[in-house]
Amino acid sequence: MDAVLSLTRSRPGAGRLVPLLLIAAALGFLLLFLLLPLAAVFVEALRKGLGTYTAALVHPEAIAAIKLTLLVAAIAVPLNTVFGVAAAWAMTRFAFRGKALLGALIDLPFSVSPVVSGLIYVLLFGAQGWFGPWLLEHDIKLIFAVPGLVLATIFVTLPFVARELIPLMQSQGSDEEEAARVLGAGGWQIFFRVTLPNIKWALLYGVLLCNARAMGEFGAVSVVSGHIRGLTNTLPLHVEILYNDYNYAGAFAVASLLAFLALITLGLKTFLEWRYGSELAAKAPRGH
């Protein structure tokens, strides 16, 4: 009897070791590859003192990069929000030919390397590109200019909102919207009074992720930017330039801004997941 008891007692002990090892491995990994670099950013940024740090941030080129990053995000994020809602609405509320194709297209930016995305725009709108001569004739400059940056950013961040909304709207079904219609509501009334309240937290979540990517995007933007200082450099590009100029403190100072952005995004994201988790998940309770 004693032997049996001790056996059953030792089991949970042995079983506790494996999870502990796994947790330690995961934490160690996170520490090494995420927290350490993050800490390094701030340590390096402040290595030459607070004065150098602030000087790097208020440098005219840095200010221009911040403004440009905000401008690009301010155009790309609202556009992709509208597109994401429209695409999710179309994908979940209507049956039409080419629906699977639309779904694949929405996912395309996720599966294509950002550099390739940027190159596509250069090939289309660059001086040697398909529409290059026509654009040149009409004196429209897309590539190596702000419009190109916006285009590339829109392309890269296109899936975030739609991908967040589609599973949720699929699981919610269209019953409530049909009920609203039969009760006499018009299209906009249905959207603002029924659809939007049901998807608002998922929408906010998608917008948040979309914004983080729009501000942090490097690859696609790098190809179309042309790196004209003070004109076509976004924050991530500015970091690279400073770094290549051996201005490590400056590079890390600007990088710390992006790190802050990441931390704020992470905080908001965690808050949304904690507070409205059930409304974000695809298997949101249907209320019956």
Partner 1 sequence: MTITINRLARRFADFRALDDVSLSIAPGEFVALLGPSGSGKTTLLRILAGLDFPDSGDLLQDGRDLLQVSARDRGVGLVFQHYALFRHMTVFENVAFGLRVRPRARRPSKAEIAERVDKLLKRVQLDGMAARYPAQLSGGQRQRVALARALAIEPSLLLLDEPFGALDAQVRVALRRWLRHLHEEMGLTTVFVTHDQEEALELADRVVVMNRGRIEQVGTPDEIYQQPATPFVFEFIGKSNKVPVRIHGARLQAGDQRFEADALEGLADGSAVAYVRPEHLALSTTPLENGWKATLRHVYLSGSVAHLELDVPGLGQTLEAELGGEEAQRRSLQAGMTVTVQPRHLTVFPLDGKTGEPDLARRRVVHPRYGQAALARWR
Residues found near partner 1 in the complex (CB under 8 A):
175-176, 178-186, 189, 193-194, 197-198, 285-288
Kindly state the tokens that stand for 116: 């390739």
CA distances from 204 to 156, 159, 287 (A): 18, 14, 22
Amino acid in position 63: I
Q: How far is the CB of 77 from partner 1 (least distance, A)?
A: 25
Distance between alpha carbon 15 and the CA centroid of its chain, in Å? 39
Tokens 């009409």 — which residue?
Answer: 138
CB of 249 to partner 1, least distance (A): 50
Using the minimum distance from each CB to partner 1, give the nearer residue, 113 or 189.
189
Smallest gap from residue 176 Cβ to partner 1 (A): 5
Whichever of 40 and 179 has its CB closer to partner 1, that residue is 179
Task: Rank residues 19 and 287 by Cβ distance to partner 1 and give the closer one.
Answer: 287
**What's the rounded Cα separation, in Å, for the pair 247 and 90?**
49
Q: How many residues does the chain have?
A: 288
Shortest separation between residue 13's beta carbon and partner 1, angstroms: 43
C-beta of 178 vs 273, nearer to partner 1: 178
Q: Which is nearer to partner 1, 180 or 258 (CB)?
A: 180
Q: CA–CA separation, 196 vs 177, rounded Å? A: 11
Residue 198 buriedness (CB in 10 A; 0-12 / 13-18 / 19+): middle
Whichever of 68 and 199 has its CB closer to partner 1, that residue is 199
Contact 209, 264 (CB under 8 A): no
**DSSP per-residue codes, 11-26:** HHHHHHHHHHHHHHHH
**Cβ 241 to partner 1, closest distance in Å?**
48
- Report H helices in 31-96: 36-45, 49-58, 60-93
State the burial class of residue 139 (Cβ atoms within 10 Å of its Cβ: 0-12, 13-18, 19+): exposed
- Smallest gap, in angstroms, from Cβ of residue 199 to partner 1? 10
The Cα–Cα gap between 232 and 218 comes to 12
By beta-carbon proximity to partner 1, the closer residue of 194 and 255 is 194
Max alpha carbon distance in the chain (Å)? 94
Give the shortest CB-172-to-partner 1 separation in angstroms: 9
